[in-house]
């Protein structure tokens, strides 16, 4: 109770609006508007202001997952924990790093076309790009960076079920 009182006081002090509601009212608001049961839709339907929320079928939260920036592991190990192969100290290859989001424009060959996704870099210059449909191996010469890795993955969540007409 003290934590709630402190948070309420803090939000008032910095001028942010605060609204509280019960779980029952949140469920009532969400159900009356025809929205699916998800955490983000419940958050939108809290209290008095949650009675009339306009969320379209294309609205969805951005899902952010921490993935880290790499490993400090000096070498790979076998199932017994003994060193099995050398691990490169270099994180960047040809200006790219594993985890970057790339666009590959492949003009010819087995994987001709445009591929967008997360890259796994190799010192040889042959990179794997994981796309929504699978994995493709491309040359470093065919790719350009869309987003440098920052230790997180980003994904658009499921959209809302539109309210009843």
The domains located in the chain, with CATH, are 2-61 (no CATH), 70-149 (2.30.30)
28 pLDDT exceeds 90?
A: yes
Task: Give the pLDDT of residue 27.
Answer: 95
SS3 category, 131: strand
- Cβ–Cβ < 8 Å for 142, 119: no
Residues 6 or more apart whose Cβ sits within 8 Å of residue 94 = 121, 125, 140
Task: Give the pLDDT of residue 165.
Answer: 43
Chain centroid to CA 122: how far? 24
SS3 category, 19: coil
Q: What's the Cα-to-Cα distance from 69 to each of 36, 46, 66, 99, rounded to whole Å? A: 35, 36, 9, 8
- Taking the CA atoms of 136, 140, 146 and 150 in sequence, report the sign of the dihedral they define: positive
pTM of the model: 0.51
Other Cβ atoms within 10 Å of 46 Cβ, number: 18
Q: How far is residue 26's CA from residue 104's CA, in Å, rounded to a whole number?
A: 45
**Range with the lowest mean pLDDT among 83-87, 108-112, 143-147?**
83-87
């Amino acid at each position: 109770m003290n934590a709630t009182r402190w948070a309420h006081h803090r939000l008032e002090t910095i001028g942010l609006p605060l609204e509280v509601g019960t779980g029952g009212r949140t469920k009532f608001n969400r159900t009356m508007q025809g929205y699916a049961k998800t955490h983000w839709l419940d958050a939108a339907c809290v209290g008095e202001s949650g009675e009339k929320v306009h969320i379209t079928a294309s609205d969805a939260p951005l899902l952010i997952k921490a993935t880290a920036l790499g490993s400090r592991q000096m070498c790979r190990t076998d199932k017994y924990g003994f060193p099995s192969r050398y691990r490169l100290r270099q994180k960047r290859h040809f200006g790219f790093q594993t985890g970057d989001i790339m666009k590959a424009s492949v003009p010819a060959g087995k994987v001709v076309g445009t591929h967008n996704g997360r890259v796994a870099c190799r010192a040889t210059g042959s990179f794997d790009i994981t796309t929504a449909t699978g994995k493709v191996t491309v040359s470093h010469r065919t790719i350009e960076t869309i987003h440098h890795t920052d230790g997180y993955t980003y994904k658009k969540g499921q959209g809302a079920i539109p309210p009843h007409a």
